[in-house]
Amino acid sequence: MSDEKIKSTLPTHLAIILDGNGRWAKRRNLPRLMGHRAGFRKLEAIARLARDKGIRYLSVYAFSTENWNRPEMEVAGLMSIFRFYIRKKVEELKSLGVRLRFCGRKDKIPEDLLKQMQWAEDYTAEQKIMDFVICLNYGGRAEIIDAVNALIASKPETPVTEADLRKHFYLPDVPDPDLIIRTSGELRLSNFWLWESAYSEYYFTETFWPDFDEAELDKALASYAGRERRYGGLKK
C-alpha cells in the first residue's frame, strides 16, 4: 500500500492499550518498574510520531481502575513515573502544539499528582495540533456508571438519548477511536473505551509495548488503511 493511501486514511483518533511492560522486564531479568520506565520512554516517542504523522487525537490506556490491585510498591512506582513525566515533558509537548489531557476518575489519585495533572491540562489547553489523552484511573464501565449517575442528577426529560448520556462522559468532545492498537499479544479490550469503541477497528500485535516502534505503528496504520468501515451498513 502506498504512503499516500495511508496518509489519506489516517485515523482521526488513535487509541493504544499499552501492554507488556512487565513481561518485557521479566525477559530481561529486570524489575517490573524498569519495564514501566521503558514503556513511558516509548510512549514519549510514539506520541511525537503520532503528532508528526498528522493524527489529531492520541489516547493511551496507562492505568486502569483495576490496576490499583497490583502490588503497592508497583503502584507507588507508577505514580512517581507519572509525576516525573508530567513535570519534565509538559513544556516540550506545548512547544510541539500538543494538548495534554487526562481521562478517568479522580478518586485514589494522590492529591499532589492531581494538582500536577490539572496544571498540565491548563498549561497546554490552547494547543491545537494534537490532543494527547492519558487514561489514568480509567475504566469503561466506571465511565458509563458515572455518566448515568450524572445524567440522573441532571433530571433530564425522558426518553434519554445517546447524545444525552455522552454529554456526561469524561471527555465528551473527544471523538470515538477509529483504531485501537493493543500490544503484547493479548486479544481483549480490558475495559477500555467500552462505549466509544462500538465501531472501532482493532489491531493486535505480539510486540511488547517497550519494543513498539515506528515500523510497528506503520504496520497498524497500513492495516487500518486497507479496511472498509461500514458502521453496520451494507457494502456499496
Domain CATH for 181 = 3.40.1180.10
When divided into structural domains, the chain yields a total of 1
Q: Domain containing 199: what range?
A: 3-139+176-225
Coarse DSSP helix, strand, coil percentages of the chain, rounded to the nearest 5 percent: 45, 15, 40
Q: Which three cell numbers stand for residue 68?
A: 490499583
What was the pLDDT predicted at 230? 77
Catalytic residue among 67, 146, 176, 211: 67
DSSP helix/strand/coil, 84? helix
What was the pLDDT predicted at 220? 98
Q: Which three cell numbers stand for residue 235?
A: 457494502
Catalytic residue among 3, 19, 131, 149: 19
What are the C-alpha distances in Å from 132 to residues 49, 72, 100, 151? 12, 28, 5, 27
What was the pLDDT predicted at 169? 98
Residue 234 lies in a domain: no
Average predicted confidence (pLDDT) for the chain: 95
Gyration radius from the chain CA atoms:
18
Peptide bond preceding 159: is omega within 30 degrees of 0, i.e. cis? yes
What was the pLDDT predicted at 200? 97
Residue 150 lies in a domain: no
| Chain segment 58-100, per-residue pLDDT in tens | 999 999 999 999 999 999 999 999 999 999 999 999 999 999 9
Q: Which three cell numbers stand for residue 198?
A: 462500538
CB of 114 closer than 8 Å to CB of 85: no
67 catalytic, yes or no? yes
What was the pLDDT predicted at 1? 62
